[in-house]
Amino acid sequence: MAGITRYGGVIEQLSSITNPQPTYNTTDTMPNCYCKYCGTKASNVTSLTSGPCFRHPLGTNKGKHSLYEGSEKSQYTCRNCGFKNTTLGSLTSGDCPKHPDGYNKGKHQPAL
């Protein structure tokens, strides 16, 4: 009985059989991260949120990028007015007529 050891009448398989090492697919990639204010794309959250955002609500480069928590989509919708665009960057570049601060007083904000 190769790979089996007896201890006090209890049969235990060797740990290499019961706990095989996990295998990782090196072709898998993490999903992209996007800024909810400007649509900047990064490969991870740390690199995204470390940089200044040129469309930050406090002003150009007065705050850091903020993670868009929705999924990647073929079309993004403004949560305030329903305007649609194919990229976050294009969506957030336009003024929103139904922005909470007033007519065109802020940019479109992506819905999740």
Q: What pTM value is reported for the model? A: 0.69
Contact 62, 89 (CB under 8 A): no
DSSP class of residue 25 equals: -
How confident is the model over 14-28, as a mean pLDDT? Answer: 46
Q: Residue 15 is inside which H or E element, if any? A: helix 15-18
* Tokens 């999740």, residue located: 112
Torsion of CA 80, 86, 92, 93, to 10 degrees: -130
Does residue 20 register a pLDDT over 60?
no
How confident is the model over 98-111, as a mean pLDDT? Answer: 94
How confident is the model over 46-58, as a mean pLDDT? Answer: 94
How confident is the model over 9-35, as a mean pLDDT? Answer: 55
Contact 37, 17 (CB under 8 A): no
Query: Strand, coil or helix: what is 101?
Result: coil
Q: Look over the chain and give the mean of its residue pLDDT values, rounded to a whole number.
A: 82
* Residues 57-81: tens digit of each pLDDT: 999 999 999 999 999 999 999 999 9
* Residues 75-104: tens digit of each pLDDT: 999 999 999 999 999 999 999 999 999 999
> What integer pLDDT is reported at residue 31 of this predicted model?
80
> What integer pLDDT is reported at residue 80 of this predicted model?
96
Q: How far apart are CA 96 and CA 15, in angstroms?
A: 60
Does residue 9 register a pLDDT over 80?
no
How many DSSP H helices and E strands does the chain contain? 3, 6
